């Protein structure tokens, strides 16, 4: 080999080596980049923000969780949009509450195709709505009782373990930790609400969403309409509520963040009660708000109840 040929070969080897090095480093940097952004995780879709929070607590970082409805949305009669359908594409699981909460879910499910789904309330004994046009129908607001929302956690654990068997241990440990927090929350709410004098333990809201909470903590409830799917304020309903508030001398009444509180403020004016503010029930607050998790939502609501019904106890 003459010197010219040697130099040429050497140059080719150098170029080859450089190309190889480039390939290796570009692959490596791609890997680092993707781990910085987070690899594409399988994602799970929930119908509303509260279920998204519960699902995140059990899933940990094994699934990305998305909610179809946004914070503050009315969820019972939600009108889904074409962009909601696009968002659902590729979901590995659809999580819904059931008990008639999401009146739009069958239409949504059939529009997005075959996403496997889990109904968190399935198999549980619901409280039935009393009176009014919804007589005998199940009350869907199970998550409003910390004790009963443990049932949802077990359902999530079961569903996630089925679609991701490698994650069973993670899901179990997350579910147990979350259930402990819910048990603690139950104790906390009980200790607060038990301080309210029995004659003042009447919770007046817009929607009849507090049946589970009321039953579990020995309260009575009264409301303007049974479920938000039918937010019609009839003069008969208003008059009956005003009469009850006057008769029981209820000091403070409330409404919820996902509906208009106009009618309830009218009831307050007519009955002499104070309007005590809006509860978070069917939706979390925005992430920087006071109820960005189910645990915070319950704590926010109980503070509002205490302030309205037992202000002298100064729960703050």
Residues that bind Zn ion in the complex, under the rule CB under 5 A: 209, 228, 282
Size of the chain, expressed as the number of residues it contains: 316
CA 308 to chain centroid: 25
The residues that bridge with 207 in the sheet, in sequence order, are: 225
Nearer to Zn ion, 258 or 271 (CB): 258
Q: How far is the CB of 203 from Zn ion (least distance, A)?
A: 14
Q: Give Dmax (Cα) for the chain.
A: 112
Residue whose CB is less far from Zn ion, 221 or 282: 282
CB of residue 299 to Zn ion, shortest distance in Å: 19
Minimum Å gap between C-beta 100 and Zn ion is 10
Closest residue to Zn ion using C-beta atoms: 282
In the complex, least distance from residue 72 CB atom to Zn ion, rounded to whole angstroms: 13
By C-beta, is 54 or 196 nearer to Zn ion?
A: 54
**Beta carbon of residue 259, minimum distance to Zn ion (angstroms, whole number):** 9
- Comparing CB distances to Zn ion, the nearer of 216 and 282 is 282
Distance CA 10, CA 6 (A): 6
165 contacts: CB under 8 Å, gap ≥ 6: none
Helix H or strand E segment including 227: none
Of 119 and 274, nearer to Zn ion (C-beta) is 119
Whether 278 and 265 have beta carbons less than 8 Å apart is answered as no
What is the helix, strand, coil percentage profile of the chain, to 5? 50, 15, 35
Cα 153–Cα 154–Cα 157 angle in degrees, nearest 5: 85
């Amino acid at each position: 080999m003459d010197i010219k040929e040697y130099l040429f070969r050497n140059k080719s080897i150098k170029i080859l080596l450089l190309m190889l090095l480039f390939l290796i480093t570009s692959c490596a940097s791609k890997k680092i980049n993707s781990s910085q952004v987070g690899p594409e995780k399988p994602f799970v879709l929930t119908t509303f923000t509260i279920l998204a929070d519960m699902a995140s607590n059990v899933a940990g970082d094994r699934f990305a969780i998305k909610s179809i409805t946004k914070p503050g949305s009315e969820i019972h009669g939600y009108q889904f949009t074409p962009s909601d359908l696009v968002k659902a594409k590729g979901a590995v699981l659809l999580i819904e509450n059931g008990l008639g909460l999401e009146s739009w879910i069958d239409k949504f499910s059939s529009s997005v195709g075959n996403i496997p789904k889990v109904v968190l309330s399935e198999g549980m004994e619901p409280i039935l709505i009393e009176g009014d046009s919804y007589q005998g129908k199940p009350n869907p607001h199970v998550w409003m009782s910390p004790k009963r929302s443990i049932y949802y956690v077990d359902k999530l654990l079961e569903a996630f373990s089925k679609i991701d068997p490698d994650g069973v241990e993670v899901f179990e440990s997350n579910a147990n930790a979350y259930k402990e927090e819910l048990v603690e929350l139950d104790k906390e709410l009980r200790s607060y609400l038990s301080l309210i004098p029995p004659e003042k333990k009447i919770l007046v809201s817009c929607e009849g969403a507090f049946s589970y909470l009321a039953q579990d903590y020995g309260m009575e409830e009264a409301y303007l309409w049974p479920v938000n799917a039918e937010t019609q304020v009839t003069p008969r309903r208003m008059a009956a509520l005003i009469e009850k508030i006057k008769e029981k001398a209820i000091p403070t009444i409330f409404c919820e963040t996902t509906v208009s509180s106009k009618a309830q403020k009218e009831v307050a004016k007519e009955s002499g009660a104070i309007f005590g503010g809006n509860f978070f029930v069917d939706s979390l607050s925005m992430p920087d708000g006071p109820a960005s998790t189910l645990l915070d939502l319950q704590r926010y609501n109980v503070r509002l109840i205490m302030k309205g019904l037992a202000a002298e106890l100064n729960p703050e």
